[in-house]
Amino acid sequence: MSDPQSTPDDSSESTPSELPADQTGTGYLERAQGALSALTESRMAMLGLVITFAMLILALGAPIFAPNPPTPDGNWAGNLENNFQPPFWEQGGTLEYPLGTDQQGRGILSRSLYGLRLALIQGTVPVLIAGIIGVTLGLVSGFFGGWVDVVISRVVDTVMSIPLTLFAIAVIAVLGANLFNLVLVIGITQWVPYTRTIRGQTLSIKNEEFIEAQRASGASNSWILRHGIFPNTTSSILVIATLNIAQVMVIAAGLTFLGLGVSPPRADLGLMLATGRNYLTTAWWYGFFPGLFLMLFVLGINLFGDGLRDILDPKYLE
Amino acid sequence: MNWGRYLLKRLWQYFVVLLGVSLIVFVITRLSGSPVSLMVGLDTDEATRQALRQQLGLTEPIYVQYGIFLRDVITFDFGTSFGVAPGEPAMGLVLNRIPATLELTATAVLFAFAIGLPVGIFSAVRQGDLADTAGMSFALLGQSVPSFWIGLLMIIFVAAPIEFFPQRGGGTYRHLILPGLTLSFFMMASIARLTRSNMADVLDEGYIDTARSKGIKERTVYVKHALRNALIPVISYASVQTAYLFGGAVITEQIFAYPGMGRLAIQAILQRDFPVIQAIVFFTAIMVIFVNFSIDLLYLRIDPRISYEEEG
Amino acid sequence: MTANTPSTTHTSLTESDDTNAPLLEYDTLDVTFETQRGDVKAVNGVSFALEAGEILCLVGESGSGKSVTAQSSLNLVPQPPGVIEGEIRYRGKDIRTASKNEIRSIRGNDIGIIFQDPISSLNPVHTVGGQVIEALTSHDRWSGAEARERAVELMEKVGIPDASARLDDYPFEFSGGMRQRVMIAIALANEPDVLIADEATTALDVTIEAQVLKLITELRDETGMGVIFITHDFGVVAEIADRVAVMYGGNIVERGEVFSLFENPKHPYTQGLLGSIPGTAVQAGADHLQAIEGEPPEMTDLPTGCTFHPRCPKAMEHCREEMPPNYVDSDDHQVRCYLHDDLPEADDSATRGRGERE
């Protein structure tokens, strides 16, 4: 037999007895299949997918595609004689460095591709952190309500009153500027949208009948949360996370631009833009192309995420 | 009426938030472990260090330290800068820069609404049209473009060739245009999209038909009835975006070497100047709360349902 | 509303128009919506007329085209995606070709309309009083202060207690029934000649509905305005109608005086509708309720011939081929059904009300 309703933090889960399969309230496999076919019909989503995929391949395959990669141990050997070469279609440019070179003679194209790879990490890891924190807080806050909800809501308000950039500045001033700290700081500030949305959804789901059914069969709170409520929030999480990755990539590049991220000589899009800032009038390609690559990546993800949202959300929210 | 209760509730929430902010700032500054070693040279003897610790109150238990910290904050004493402008009170430095940053953010908001709203309205009225597609594509682009890249592009293609637009510095209204535009881009795009979707929704509502059936002018239907309702969530969005705007100002100021609070923050971090950083974070939070509260007040005026709704 | 037969008749007023034209006249109205899934013919060759002082009930299921017909008289149908053909004449003047200003002057002034859902029909961010006053001031007939007075009068007339205080309240402070009364006040603000009530009482509970119906009939008695009351509820029809027109699949399939229709429904659809109401069925001698088989037609894929034939228990071969014409009997009771092809055909122009057919 399963035990009756347990307190919030029970570590032992109790599965409901004799719950018929269709009463778990998830039907999200069918929904996913439906969403997938709708996805292929949405031009926007497909375009976004194509662009994102292309950029993804470029990023992951940077060592293959880059015409002037670093040495295997990460050393960007630049030839000072080649510095500040313009792109190949301008006078003075060569096809050896298709998009020109920087102040140390390193290829802009190659550095940008490696920068995309770094951007990928900078985009996905914080979202993972933020997602875990945010979804958990949202579920707890919506499900249990009461003072827990109030406290979490105040925390949300507080976080939202401090601009991320300033917070990052303050923390990184103390902890030091590197990839790990950057990713961490961004991760712990991005959880608010998850919490808000999941909390709202939890509030509406927890009153639905199938939750009552689960409870009546003896399911514990943690079981209900994990198997009843959470599966029905996955489509929203997916939408938020996708769009969030794009935002976070931009944020990370911005913070690195300010000097709060990785340091030279690593190939980072934000860093390149920061240095490029100094040569805008003399070597415009330095500031232009890294930003272009970043924009394309972000655009692709945004398009895809928007298409995803149009398909998933209205379907879910009935 | 319920207004009083509503406002009081909000004020209380903001107070709690400020408390939370102070706690966060406090924790951050204590994160470094030993602020003293950051302040003095490596070869300073222990006695001097201990004296400094005592002076800074670091020998007290942690909650006493927090208490002292709170007291200082309330009296606006953030200590003296030891990096950016050694010896000067941190608060003074920050206050000096606030007006410039406020001007920048205000300009950005102006641009964002001045361009975003019309685009959104136009797209909603001409749904499905070419104008609609163009407007929304532009908006999507605006949301995908990193603001600092836009800033760089502005300098390359606008400021450099055209004398009228300065590339760096601040002081005159001309110095506000390009940085303001750069900062406004994302918000402009978001406003355009939001306005369009809200207008489109509102135009489907029953009261629009009712309005038309009274025989009033079409323009009045759009402005007095549709827009009036569609704008409410947009203003709410603007409120939420304030923090983001102040953060974005840091980057914009850096690009255009604009002498605002953001620039000061960057200089402070380079020098590990904690008092200044603390002061900046705190003042920014206060500004954000101020803006939020102002919008709360505005909300009472524009949406009569607000004071009757309980928080879910 | 479970009335079986109408309780009283209403004698038409002796008020005469300066022209011979009926108050409101639809002449072969066609409304087609061009959608992604195909063309939807919402209204198909509808013709009828409304005279002053009469209450005409337009009855039908959802999707029968009744709302669109009503909305088109105020040019409220969005065009695109709607395409409208035919004429709608107010006092002889074609509304469809009228200028923007003329249409504006008709809206709310000559023709007033009440919509179905009171909850969404009022703008939530303006005061109720403001919205009533807006109706009054938009035709330059009342100035600001006068308008306010008149607004209070109107609200009192429709039965809103404490009217002058409630002028400054917002819609969310009113109940559904009260909001519908406000809508009536707005519709009647400028003393229109025609009132169109589009399912105006469907969303209200029975007691409130009774009050609203009473209000409408009283106003008709006082002012002699014509009323088109759209509903799917035969109980309402029995209560207030002078004449009835039954719509199905975009056509008017039967029309006539209310008594005639109830006592002797000619079209199988009408028979089905009346047979599925407990009271009328018993009266007709049935011992069980008869639901109409099948579903309303898919508007993008209407059946050939008579739109009702797939569901008709008395369908014949001919019904599948061609839409029947309008047959009329001596009581001016018209029906579009081959079952009655022994009757003479009505002429195709808009039919008129009792006693005005010369």
Q: What is the CATH number of the domain that holds A139?
A: 1.10.3720.10
Measure CB to CB from residue B146 to each of A153, A254, A306 and give the nearest one.
A254
DSSP state string for C6-27: -S---PPP----SSSS-SEEEE
C346 in a domain, yes or no? yes
Judging contact as 3 or more Cβ pairs under 8 Å, the answer for A and C is no
- Of the partner residues C122, C138, C139, the one whose CB lies closest to the CB of residue B207: C122
Contacts of residue C334, defined as CB under 8 A and 6 or more positions apart, other chains included, come to: C254, C255, C256, C326, C327, C328, C346, C351
d(CA A74, CA A62) in angstroms, rounded, equals 13
Lowest-confidence range among A55-59, A96-100, B77-81, C204-208?
Answer: B77-81
Residues of chain C neighbouring B211 (CB-CB closer than 8 A): 123, 134
- The tens digit of pLDDT for each residue in A5-33 reads 333 333 344 444 444 444 444 555 666 67
**Contact assignment for C135 to B232 by CB distance below 8 Å:** no
Q: In this prediction, does ipTM exceed 0.90?
A: no
Give the tens place of pLDDT for each residue, B102-118.
Answer: 999 999 999 999 999 99
* Cis? peptide before C313, omega within 30° of 0: no
Average pLDDT, chain B: 84
In a domain, C337, yes or no: yes
In the three-class reduction of DSSP (H, G, I as helix; E, B as strand; rest coil), residue C257 is classed as strand
- Does residue A93 sit within a domain? no
Q: Which residues contact C184 (CB under 8 A, 6 or more apart)?
A: C114, C158, C200, C212, C215, C216
Nearest to A141 by CA among A189, A208, A192, A188: A192
Q: What is the mean pLDDT of residues C118-141?
A: 89
% of chain C exceeding 90 in pLDDT: 12
CB atoms within 10 A of CB A4: 9
Per-residue CA distances from B63 to B27, B58, B59 (Å): 11, 11, 11
Computed over every residue of chain A, the mean pLDDT equals 81
> Which one is predicted more confidently, A1 or B294?
B294
CB A140 within 8 A of CB A226: no
pTM above 0.90, yes or no: no
| Residue A187, both tokens | 């991760």
Q: Tokens 């299949």 correspond to what residue? A: A33
Contact check, Cβ <8 Å, C170/B303: no
* Cβ distance of C115 and B210 shorter than 8 Å: yes
Alpha carbon distance B310, B307 (integer Å)? 8
Residue A293: its pLDDT value, please?
93
Answer with the residue of higher pLDDT: A25 or C146: C146
How many Å apart are CA B225 and CA A42, to the nearest integer? 33
Whether B and C touch (3+ CB pairs < 8 Å), yes or no: yes
Q: Domain count of chain C? A: 1
| Model pLDDT, residue A185 | 92
Give domain status of residue C322, yes or no.
Answer: yes
Distance (Å) from the C-alpha of residue B111 to the closest C-alpha of chain A?
21
Alpha helices of chain A — where are they, by DSSP H?
28-41, 43-60, 62-65, 108-144, 146-161, 164-175, 179-187, 192-205, 209-216, 221-223, 234-257, 269-276, 284-316
How large a percentage of chain A has pLDDT more than 90? 27
* Token output for A246: 């794009």
Pick B149's closest partner by Cβ from A259, A273, A284: A273
User: CB under 8 Å to C212, separation ≥6 — which residues?
Assistant: C177, C180, C181, C184, C200, C201, C204
**Which of B1, B129, B213 is the mutation pick for testing C, counting most C CBs within 10 A?**
B213
The answer as to whether A293 is a domain residue is yes
| Residue in chain B nearest C170 by alpha carbon | B304
Q: Which two tokens stand for residue A188?
A: 């712990």
Distances (CA, A) of B162 to A280, B148, B155, B265, C108: 14, 20, 10, 30, 56
Instruction: Look at chain A and report how many structural domains it folds into.
Output: 1
Domain assignment of residue C229, yes or no: no
Quote the pLDDT of residue B312: 35
C207 contacts: CB under 8 Å, gap ≥ 6 = none
- In terms of CA atoms, which chain B residue is nearest residue C72? B213
Question: Domain limits at A60?
Answer: 32-67+105-317
- Structural domain harbouring C283: 246-351
Residue B197 and residue B190 in contact, taking contact as beta carbons nearer than 8 Å: no
Q: Is A104 on the interface with B (CB under 8 A)?
A: no
Q: How far is CA C200 from the centre of its chain?
A: 10
Contacts of A164 in chain B (CB under 8 A): 243-244, 247
Q: Average of pLDDT values for A158-170? A: 84
Q: What's the CA gap between B182 and B155, in Å, rounded? A: 10
Within a domain: C210: no
Tell me how crowded residue A65 is: count the other CB atoms within 10 A of its CB.
15
Residue at C62 is within a domain: no
* Contact assignment for C123 to B210 by CB distance below 8 Å: yes
Report the alpha-carbon distance of residue B99 to residue B261 in Å, rounded: 9
Residues C1/C231, Cβ–Cβ less than 8 Å? no
What are the two backbone dihedrals, phi and then psi, of residue A219, each rounded to the nearest 5 degrees?
A: -75, 145
Q: What is the pLDDT of residues A231-240, one digit of tens each?
A: 888 888 988 9
For the segment B176-220, what is each residue's pLDDT rounded down to a tens digit? 899 999 999 999 999 999 999 899 889 888 899 999 999 888 888
Average pLDDT over residues C100-128: 89
Chain A neighbours, 3+ Cβ pairs < 8 A: B
Q: Are B149 and A254 in contact (CB under 8 A)?
A: no
Residues in chain B: 312
Q: How far apart are CA B14 and CA B9, in angstroms?
A: 9
C interface residues, B as partner, C-beta within 8 Å: 71, 74, 76, 100, 103-109, 112-113, 115, 117, 119-126, 131, 134-135, 138-139, 170, 172, 183, 186-187, 189
Count chain B–chain C contacts defined by CB atoms under 8 A: 76
Of the candidates C206, C254, C195, the residue with the CA atom closest to the CA atom of residue C64: C254
Distances (CA, A) of A236 to A33, A193, A306: 16, 11, 12
C290 domain residue, yes or no: yes
d(CA C136, CA B215): 10
**For testing contact with chain A, the best of B94, B152, B296 (most A CBs within 10 A):** B152
A35: confidence class by pLDDT, cuts 50, 70, 90: low
Shortest CA distance from C137: residue in chain B = B216
The DSSP string of B179-221 is HHHHHHHHHHHHHHHHHHHHHHHHHTSHHHHHHHHTT--HHHI
DSSP assigned state of B104:
H
C275 in a domain, yes or no?
A: yes
Q: Which of A161, A163, A257 sits opposite B148 (nearest CB)?
A: A257
- The Cβ-side half-sphere exposure at B296, using a 13 Å CA radius, reads 18
CA C292 to CA C268: how far, in whole Å? 9
When pLDDT is averaged across residues A99-120 and rounded to a whole number, the result is 88
